[in-house]
A and B are shown apart, each in its own frame.
Chain A
Amino acid sequence: MAPHPGIDPDQIKEKARKDLLDLLESVRGKKNLVIEKSLAGPIGIFVKFSTLQDHGVDKVFFLENDNVDASQKNVIFLARGEKANQPIAITEQIQRLQKNSSIEHEFLIIWVPRRTLVCNKILEEAGVLGDVSVEEFVLHFIPLEQDLLSLCLEDSFKDLYLRKDPTSTFLAAQALMGIQQTHGLFPRIIGKGDNANRLMELLLRMRVEAAADDNNTSKFGLMPSATIESLIIIDREIDFATPLLTQLTYEGLIEEMFGISYNQTEIHSSIVGQASGTQQSGKSPAATQQGLKQKIQLDSSDKLYEQLRDANGAIVDNLLNKVARRLQSDMKNRHAESISELRDFVGKLPGYQSEQQSLKIHINLTEEIMKNTQSDIFRRTLEVQQNLYDGSDPSSQHDTLEELISRSVPLPTILRLLCLESCISGGLRQKDLDNFKRLILHAYGYQHLLTLSALEKIGLLQTRASAGVLTNPLAVGTAQENTKTNYNYLRKVLRLVVDEVNEQNPNDIAYVYSGYAPLTVRLVQAILQKQYLLALTKGASAANISTAAHGWQGFEDAARNVKGTTFNKIQKGEEQVVKARHMLAGTGGKVKTVVVMFLGGVTFTEIAALRFVAKGEEGRRRILVCTTDVMGGNGVVGAAIEKGSFGEV
């Protein structure tokens, strides 16, 4: 059997691009494209607007704006069909066009990633199913980077934890199943959390169902992959605290302050300066002027950014300094001795130029970020966070919290701190919680009663009574599967707090939060880097766990103190086939991939920490991060925040 190539993000991108363009081409002539807003970003990752135009797209409309016009005979809708909202909106717009337009339109609806029964039913009941053609665009994982695949489900966090709607889990299962179908079964599926467990069960079930499927022509069923070592599934629910903290890597800070969506951030032109004029034609970083906001591409196509993104924010100015100095010296040494040297130099010029451009942008960004990080409020916020994860008495932070509320800092900041306290210390006392609720309602408006109630539903905000007795460390041993992550216990067992962290030359993943190691990544380490973690927590002498240890071995207690189901499943193929495969392919020696799936979202800091882990495993393993969506703390509480107010509607 020919060795499988590993999971190749470029290939996924190329396939998605081709599939989409083929679908667009299937409609003859010019067409208008109506696209769901939340799909525009993901699609922009693999196909440019100009390419769409080359394939006959005349104008692009957002489905949500309800403004598609009759300028083209052909109208294509591109939307997700998992919820009823989109088919209803599409139905209305089709009916509007049919009624008002003088020409007879041809409609095509492309459902992403699958055509659902619900959509069929809604279109059928509205009587438009007969007038439209329907296609599917199978789009699951979209590669944001070489080591990062995202389903780009913006609502996944809200759906999973607030609305308890497991659609994202199902879509994730389908996406992972796709990987299994091309690369073989994950030999081991291991993970933590109730939703993660459900995802694992779905994968097992889908495997059985795939065997019963008529379309599956493979005679043998699926075999364990030769290129993938395991799948680790992490449920966001097991660690809400991590995303609530302020991310302190450069990329994390940009996300915190400006927001990053699909490798792009929008920044006010006054901050990045007049760089745009020369850059419109430039490729990298592709920045386009849009009103007063400017889009800046943030991905590994910008070599400078690739160096900076995962560094702790505190040392970014240093790094920038170095680069600036190198560039300067490079430019100075241009006294060309001979024509060939001159030619060399001129050849490098475009590179210098784009590097200089990107340097300029990042210096400006850093400056803006520093302005913020030096502010009183930022420092106070960080202080509260630190005290909370250090394990000091949470009530000592209440004064600061009250003050911050009185000073009307943005609501997400307050909610994050409050939720952080609730998560880490296992809930607030009823009296304190009620007091904060009242303060928040006064300061930010009564509509946030809904916000608070949503936070409670998600489990981000709890009273200590409902959270159970967790502060008592003696109770720990007896607790079976936990309903709550016990940070007090884990702080020691997994060494979540590392005081002497080196930000300059990171020696532990804790550098991403300047002293706090994200629990999720610690759990990944507990599976992949047992030796390291044992040495860290119990001293070098204790780290004599056998290298053959796998699964949760050595960290069962820790796992037990994290919320939700713990699981560890081995997937086997038919024995003879596996044996034959082993004989043919031989074992070991090859670098295998570990897929880490974050269900419910992942932060940039966790990605950075996993990249740090991957660096340590270089030569042995490759780590591929998969997620339902990339998000920050504002996204976590944002899922709960009520947008309406008692003002004008």
Chain B
Amino acid sequence: MSNPTANWERVGDRFYHKIKLYDAVFDQDLELENYVIAGAPFSGAIALYRDESKLHTYRGSQTSKSSIDIYSCSGKLIRRINWDKGSIRGLGWSEDEKLLVVTEDGTVRCYYDLQGDFTQFSLGSGVEEHGVRACRFWSNGFVAILSNNQLIAISHYNEPRPKLLATPPEDLVHSWTVIPPAYTLSRSVEVLLAVGQTIYVVDSTDAEDRVLPNGPFKHVSVSPNGLYVTLYTEDGKVWVITSDFQNKIGEYESKAKTVPKDVQWCGNDSVLLAWEDEVHMIGPNGAVLKYYYDGWVHLLADVDGVRLMTNDVCEFLQKVPDTTEDIFKLGSTSPASVLLDAVDQLEKKSPKADENIQLIRSSLPDAVAACVQAAGQEYSTYWQKQLLKAASFGKSVLDLYSSDDFVDMCEKLRVLNALRDYRIGLPLSLEQYERLTSEKLIQRLINRREYLLAIRVSDYLRIPTNKIYVHWASQKVRNSTADEDTICSTVVDKLNNKRGISFEVIARAAYDEGRSHLATQLLNHESRAGKQVPLLLSMSEDELALDKAIASGDTDLVYFVLLHLKRTLPLASFFRLLTNRPLATALVESSALDQDRSLLKDLYYQDDRALDGANLLFSEALAQTAPQTKIDKLRLASKCLEDHSSKDPTAALYHKSYQEAQALIRLQSSLDSDLHAGEKVYTGLSLNATLHRLILTTHGKRANKIASDFRVPEKVFAWIRLRALVAKRDWTELEEIATKNKRSSIGWEPYFNEVLGAGNTKLAGGVFVAKCTGLKARERSEMWVKCGMVGRAGEELAKAKDLEGLEELRGKASGSGAVEIERLIAQLRPKR
């Protein structure tokens, strides 16, 4: 086995290695130079399409049909998408391997599953006029530049919202790129535009000139961590600066006569310049390394290196990871390196193995960790094994060692090796795998329809497999040629007893394929009622959708269905759906009350709910301004109940009240015009308040008449009169009532209390106490006291011969009152 260092090359003080991932990638006939190529991040799929601007040999009509071809890294054609939607101006990938295709007129297609299914959206109405010139993509968004230099950003694909960035200068843009939102201070995307001599930084609010003197820059490229920017000047210089344009890191003279076709970062510390068949790598401090190829070479930058694609090979160029370098570097004496050597010795059964171990005893844990780490970085299974053996040997010597990292790495390597197989073609590096996460990796496998591997990997890594099954089933119902019942039973049998299976998704796939019977069958297996609803609606299973929505308990869902049904159904059928569904009816009522009263009226009429209908009209009357329109509405309301009032006592009461309300409105407007020259003083008052006000403003007679017209109970009227007179301070009138009447319907205490409450002790005590004949002497005496008439209180008690009470009273009295009480007590006390 060749030593890993065989393909190492020194760039300055570091090593780089180019790992050959696959060979015989593309068909030799494929003229790569004529293709635009885009590679998904994390060693994902590659999309190719023929560059229209380049001439190509005519090969008959068959191949002239334009298409976008999706390949795996090993050159396996995953999908060919026929393309007839116009000129493509942007081709790129998102982190989760969605292929984005942007056309000149601003249409964006998002192919989300590598199988040709897509969603489509537009960059906005203004785009068509100017046309998209180019696009730059980042992990989950992109920026499009129009021919007038306007920039439009899309920051996510779930609900894409085209956002116009600040307007940059209209001069020729030599080159441009974006800094992804994750790496900018503002957390929104920034665009670097090379215009004239300088670079403009454009974000959503402004376009700022960074005033660089050395332009024009033919290439701009941002490092994967967003910290550095490479600029390639017209005269062949390469500049590396920080992305905040504050510091210059390095400058390199390429001495090239032609401008490279591509400039990309390789990791975060070196830059690649690519010409047609030549790649230059510029490392830190200006060290250079040159690679030559036989044919056209494309660069596909990734987070930790660059994939180089030619017709023959797919290679991965990266900096040799530090741990690997430490172990394999010529003459390395690092503990890990010694440990690796120990395994070698062990295999040769040499005692040096133990010597080696003793040598590094103190740093053995670190050496084990380093070997585990280095094994993960390794692409050759031989060296993976060798390193893991070393680690295993090392840890066997240690007393205490947690094997978690070791086991973990073994698992990861097993997965990585499976993925790197040319039949799968996902040559992830360890770092890429860790960044991608295993869930997203499974998604990639699903998209490639590698279900078996996906399930194996999921089981192995203990992650849920439900999505894999669902995807499998969805494909099954789409593509299977068996009859629908067989498909259904196959799918259901397979997925039974599996957790988290969304039958709704499968059913939708069936429905989209036009198999609605199958869709209904599958939907019955969905346990989440809510999920069934939208599909049922699109299948026009209205009644079922409504019932499922009700069953889910989610009112939003019910509202949603109702809203939909109201739009699509004739009113009568809509109401028919509501009968016997009280929840749906209640929700329709509740929302119609706020938004659509005419619907409510129809509903009440349909359901023969006369009382509710009448109340609705009644509440409309409340909303009217003019007295006459109010009365009209009230009349309508009472009409509603006319037939019912004879049978139903409640309806009768309502009916009568509507009429009384009309009478009151009429009365009040006549009062207003009689007494207040039309000013609305009485309007809006209640009947009792009207009476109160009339008495208060000395229209007592009128009040009397109204009270009897409206049949206000005597007691109620007595209270109204009392309170109004007290409020008016009409003591004479009150006194007159007391003298004229022997009895009062509400008794005389209220009179006493109210008058006293108003502060007239003279009247309260002088007139009303005596009228309260129903009370006990003690109580009356207290009333006198409240009026400050202690003398009268005493007399009252004396009359009742209540000696005890008198003595109590004496305590409270003072001055002449006390003397008086004394006298009464003396009178009453039995003479000895």
Interface residues of A (CB under 8 A from B): 28-29, 81-85, 88, 114, 116-118, 121, 130, 133-134, 159, 163-167, 169-170, 173, 198, 201-202, 205, 208-209, 211-214, 216-217, 219, 221, 376, 402-403, 405-408, 430, 434, 437-439, 441-447, 449-450, 453, 642, 644-649
Contact = CB atoms under 8 A, between A and B. Distances in A.
Nearest to A121: B563
B556 A117 contact: yes
Chain A to chain B: the 6 pairs with minimum beta-carbon distance, closest first: A647-B684, A406-B719, A164-B586, A446-B661, A117-B560, A644-B622
B513 interface: no
Interface stretch (B31-39, B485-493, B590-598): B590-598
Contacts of A407: 719, 723
B657 A446 contact: yes
Contacts of B500: 211-214, 216
Given A165-B586, A170-B553, A449 B685 contact: no
B624 interface: yes
Contacts of B526: 212
Contacts of A83: 591, 594
Contacts of A133: 161
B719 A447 contact: no
A209 B527 contact: yes
Nearest to A399: B715
Interface in B153-180: 159, 161
Interface in B685-712: 685-689, 710, 712
B715 A406 contact: yes
Contact of B715 (A201, A402, A442, A446): A402
B720 interface: yes
Given A443-B686, A446-B686, 7 more contacts: A117-B560, A214-B502, A403-B750, A406-B720, A408-B689, A430-B649, A449-B657
**Residue among B553, B587, B590 having the largest count of chain A Cβ atoms under 10 Å:** B553
A644 B623 CA distance: 8
Contacts of B611: 453
Contact of B499 (A165, A198, A211, A437): A211
Contacts of B678: none
Contacts of A439: 713, 716
Contacts of B657: 437-438, 441, 446, 449
Interface string B779-809: 0000000000000000000000000000000
B688 A408 contact: yes
B725 to A, nearest CB: 14
A442 B661 CA distance: 9
B80 interface: no
B654 interface: yes
Interface in B598-633: 611, 615, 618-619, 621-625, 630
A107 to B, nearest CB: 10
A444 B658 CA distance: 15
Contacts, number: 190
B555 A165 contact: yes
A114 B719 CA distance: 54
B572 to A, nearest CB: 23
Interface string B557-571: 101100110000000
Given A166-B555, A214-B467, A645 B684 contact: yes
A166 B685 CA distance: 37
Interface residues of B, number: 81
Contacts of A211: 499-500, 527
Contacts of B719: 403, 406-407
Contacts of A647: 680, 683-685
Given A213-B528, A402-B716, A84 B188 contact: no
B654 A85 contact: no
Interface of B: 159, 161, 186-188, 204-205, 462-464, 466-467, 470, 499-502, 526-530, 552-557, 559-560, 563-564, 582-583, 586-587, 589-591, 593-595, 611, 615, 618-619, 621-625, 630, 649, 653-654, 657-658, 660-661, 664-665, 680, 683-689, 710, 712-713, 715-716, 718-720, 723, 746, 750, 753
Contacts of B470: 214
B680 A163 contact: no
A219 B563 contact: no
A118 B713 contact: no
A165 B590 contact: yes
A219 B622 contact: no
Contact of B687 (A164, A165, A442, A449): A442
Given A84-B594, A165-B555, A169-B553, A645 B586 contact: no
A164 B558 CA distance: 14
A450 B619 contact: yes
Given A117-B556, A406-B715, A446 B664 contact: yes
Nearest to B690: A442
A38 to B, nearest CB: 15
Contact of B563 (A88, A118, A170): A118
Nearest to A202: B553
A202 B557 CA distance: 14
Given A163-B590, A434-B653, A121 B528 contact: no
A212 B527 contact: yes
A112 to B, nearest CB: 13
A217 B464 contact: yes
Contacts of A430: 649
Nearest to B203: A28
A118 B528 contact: no
A84 B591 CA distance: 7
Contacts of A205: 529, 552-553
A449 B654 contact: yes
A82 B556 contact: yes
A28 B753 contact: no
B555 A167 contact: yes
B559 A449 contact: no
Contacts of A642: 619, 622
A434 B186 contact: no
A121 B593 CA distance: 19
B116 to A, nearest CB: 23
A201 B710 CA distance: 52
Contacts of A646: 621-622, 630, 661, 664-665, 683-684
A238 B380 CA distance: 73
A434 B649 CA distance: 9
Nearest to B753: A376
A205 to B, nearest CB: 7
Contacts of A644: 619, 622-623
A441 B660 contact: yes
Contacts of A121: 560, 563-564
A447 B555 contact: no
A212 B710 CA distance: 66
Contact of B464 (A219, A406, A648): A219
A103 to B, nearest CB: 12
A85 B555 contact: no
Contact of A449 (B553, B555, B618, B723): B618
B715 A212 contact: no
14 contacts: A165-B555, A170-B553, A173-B553, A202-B553, A211-B500, A213-B528, A217-B464, A403-B719, A406-B746, A443-B716, A445-B684, A445-B686, A648-B625, A649-B622
Contacts of B622: 447, 450, 642, 644-646, 649
Contacts of A438: 653, 657
A214 B593 CA distance: 38
A327 B557 CA distance: 59
A466 to B, nearest CB: 10
A29 B205 contact: yes
Given A28-B186, A442-B716, A647-B680, A219 B555 contact: no
A163 B161 contact: no
Nearest to A402: B715
Contacts of B689: 408
Contacts of A216: 500
A648 B684 CA distance: 7
A453 B611 CA distance: 9
